Amino acid sequence: MRGIAANLLVLTMWSAGMMPGATVPRPSPEFGFELPGGKQVLLSQYRGKVVMMGFYLTTCPHCKDTVRIVEKLYKEYGAQGFQPLGVCINDMAKMLTADFNKEQGATFPIGYGPRDSAYGYLQHPTMMQLYMPAFVMIDRKGQIVSQYMGGDLIFGKDLAEREKNFRKLIEDMLKKPGVSAAPAPAKKTATTKKAS
């Protein structure tokens, strides 16, 4: 009974505006996750790209649909600087993520990480349910410019509408000026010869 009372209190505080939601825009903190096979991925590796960081459950049908759509858009926009990343946060994700990736045909990095880390990154209260999938859009300068949870309008009524909404979001982000994906070439400096 205590769990229900605590959830009702949190829900009441949330709807009354007494609990803060995620701050947007905000600088993206560092976030790391592990790929099947053990390789560590850090979000900072993709600075200079437009990043869609998704949080998934390997058992969630909406997550699976979303990964397939994002994969399609990655093939279209990856060369322009669009980089999706994914983190599975359900129990046993370490064992299930490789099959999840294979089933969805994902070629972009999808790994696994602790649920608490995802909640912290998303600034989501741990006592409230996180509707999945959840994702953030990060601009080329490393700012989280938007954040979405499962059930948000961007997910649309059907897959065609979801793809259309994601496509517009990605295209708008790619148009914004920002840090170049490639580092600037080193400047040449003049050298002087010593007199002998």
CA atoms of 182 and 54, how far apart (whole Å): 24
Mean pLDDT across 9-17: 36
Contact 52, 82 (CB under 8 A): yes
Residue-level pLDDT at 22: 78
Contact 151, 131 (CB under 8 A): yes
Domains along the sequence of the chain with CATH: 19-175 (3.40.30.10)
pLDDT band at 183 (very low <50, low <70, confident <90, very high): very low
Residue-level pLDDT at 24: 86
Q: Kindly report the number of other CB atoms within 10 A of residue 152's CB atom.
A: 14
Residue-level pLDDT at 157: 83
Would residue 91 be called left, alpha or beta, if left means φ above 0 and alpha means ψ between -120 and 50 degrees?
A: beta
Residue-level pLDDT at 177: 74
Per-residue pLDDT for 82 more than 60? yes
Residue-level pLDDT at 180: 44
- In this predicted structure, which of 9-13, 38-42, 93-97 has the lowest mean pLDDT? 9-13
Q: Which range has highest mean pLDDT (10-14, 43-47, 147-151)? A: 43-47
Residue-level pLDDT at 52: 97
Peptide bond into 25 cis (omega under 30): yes
Peptide bond into 133 cis (omega under 30): yes
What is the SS3 assignment for 38?
Answer: coil
Residue-level pLDDT at 6: 41
Which token pair is 15?
């709807």
The mean pLDDT value of the chain amounts to 84
